[in-house]
A and B are shown apart, each in its own frame.
Chain A
Amino acid sequence: METETPNMRIVTMTAALLIFWNVVVPPEGWVDVLVGTVASLALAVWAARFLWPHAGPHHSSLHMARIPGFALLTAKRIVIAAAQVLRIVMDPRLPIEPFVVRQTVHFDEEAARVVYANAITITPGTLTLDVDGDAVTVHALGPELARDVVDGTLARDVARLFERRQPS
């Protein structure tokens, strides 16, 4: 898939938001449809101008094929993360050794950086504190829990999905 133009991005996003609106608020008259359309369009224009003012992420068909797998892996990580935290807080000894680590991870795509920061937070025992350019500051509940983040496994997973240059 080629990189979308700003106008194409507005149209795509308006359509996606309108579908979301129609599912969550089933329209009962023309006023509902009008309000949904205006709200979706306004949000899409705002996002294209302020949230993603630069070109959108480049997705080849290979990247698109990897999205369902990444989504499933993410869902699995969310459940494991919750179970890990549940186990920790219910343990009378409260087995945590919190620390903060600052790492440098380079992504060409802005979207990859955003997904990486969110993926860290939903990974068991880690939380993104700050993202400043290529520097990512992470809070971890313990060294063992932060292994995938510190050794770069998670960054490679995200790069495989979003980057033109594939990680070695």
Chain B
Amino acid sequence: MTLVLNVLSVALILVGLTFVLGGTVGLVRLPDLFSRAHAASKCDSVGAGSILLALALQGGLAFGDLKIVLLVLLALVSAPTTAHALARAGYRTGLRAWTRPEREDA
């Protein structure tokens, strides 16, 4: 049982790290605030959720792990809300969305 929990925990941590890395790469590669908000809100919430679930498994599925499950839910709800708040502030202050420039050969 411990081996299964350890394997599941490591898998969840690797998945979490992949998503967190993806969110960070997105912040660098995507062209404007609105596109970057997609990366920050979506990848980071799943990344943090996976890592927190791995911690819950390492805790041995005790009642105290309910705290971690609540934190996962909080992360899943707060990430899109934060992204919306940032994007809304940008939109209302006149920031325009980046669009792909027309190709000359098109």
Contact = CB atoms under 8 A, between A and B. Distances in A.
B70 A97 contact: no
A130 B42 contact: no
Interface of A: 20, 23-24, 26, 75, 78-79, 81-82, 84-86, 88-90, 94, 96-100, 117-118, 121-122, 124-125, 127-130, 137, 139, 141
A40 B49 CA distance: 25
Contacts of A85: 22-23, 26, 38-39, 42-43
A98 B43 contact: no
B103 to A, nearest CB: 12
B97 A89 contact: no
A75 B76 contact: yes
Interface size class of B (residues with CB under 8 A): 35 or more
Contacts of B83: 121, 127
A78 B45 contact: yes
Nearest to B44: A82
20 contacts: A23-B66, A24-B67, A81-B42, A82-B22, A85-B26, A89-B22, A89-B25, A89-B29, A89-B30, A96-B35, A97-B99, A97-B100, A98-B35, A98-B100, A118-B84, A121-B80, A122-B80, A127-B34, A127-B87, A128-B84
A121 B43 contact: no
Nearest to A96: B35
Interface of B: 18-19, 22-23, 25-26, 29-32, 34-35, 37-39, 41-43, 45-47, 64, 66-67, 70-71, 76-77, 80-81, 83-84, 87-88, 90-92, 97-100
A118 B22 contact: no
A127 B67 contact: no
A79 B42 CA distance: 8
B19 A129 contact: no
B29 A94 contact: yes
B70 A24 contact: yes
Contacts of B29: 89, 94
B99 A98 contact: yes
A90 B81 contact: no
A121 B39 CA distance: 11
Contacts of A118: 77, 80-81, 84
